[in-house]
Amino acid sequence: MNLLPSIPLFRLFLFCALALSVSERGVAQSDNLPAAREPAGPVTNDSAPASAAAGPRVTFNSVHVDGPYVAMTFDDGPNATLTPKLLDLLAAHLMKVTFFVVGENAAEYPEIVKRAAREGHEIANHSWSHPNLGKMGDDAVRRELQKTDDAIRAAIGVRPTLMRPPYGSITARQKEWINDSFGYKIIIWDVDPLDWKRPGPSVVTRRILEETRPGSIILAHAIHPSTLEAMPTTFDQLEARGLKFVTVSELIAMARPLPPKAAASAPPARRSRPAGAPQEDTVAPAQPSPAIPNG
């Protein structure tokens, strides 16, 4: 029998088997190589640390509470004439509120700040000169907050635990480092009567009544006469609804978890406005983005 014709076939089979073995070893080796790293994207100011989601809540627009409680807040004071009148009105209503003071004003009128604290109101940080913190570097923001912190402590002997950024302008990253550095909770609002536009006392009252619900944080300004004129009727009508006034820290202490459906459908703050209008009776701040609300 002639075996020669089968020899080329045998060699072909042997060559294919060797090639398959080499190919499988190559695949196995490639599986053990480290994965190629894609270049990291830029980190923006709004990027919060990955651990933030697991930590305690830092920012509050409103608070979910079981009872009929709301927090009234007044920004930009103290004012030499209006704030004492407001304190008289609050005392008549047995109300406690939170004052977010501008550091320059607190340093100029420490006795008014001291009186507000003595009468049970909460004193909180609203920056030194009312700039747009969201457009500032960390060192400048730190100076704004620290100087105000010092002025409040000099007036009342204790540090504030809350801060409100002017215009509500603050980045997610700033919130985290401010909370880490100062221990502040960041307080925004969910009721805004746009009283800085001075629409008239009746309009301010109507807007607050329309938007306020249990757990609301109500924004107003302690430097506008028309705001002060609106407050007696506003307080009377809110009290007639059975609402009770507490400080922001007291409201936060009452917080209860949102039901799952309510948490998924919770509405954002219901009123915002373009910023950039100067704050009467204070130093005019830097002009923020038109999309940022005033405060």
Annotated catalytic residues are 75, 221
CA distances to 66, 125, 144, 170 from 159, in Å: 29, 9, 15, 21
Between strands 69-75 and 244-246, the pairing is: parallel
Q: Contact, 226 vs 252, CB < 8 A? A: no
DSSP codes of every residue in 130-190: ---GGGS-HHHHHHHHHHHHHHHHHHHSS--SEE--GGG---HHHHHHHHHHH-PEEE--S
Cα separation of 139 and 190, whole Å? 29
Q: Contact, 283 vs 203, CB < 8 A? A: no
CA distances to 139, 161, 169, 243, 277 from 69, in Å: 37, 20, 26, 6, 31
Long-range contacts formed by 51-54: CB under 8 A, 24+ apart = 52/172, 52/176
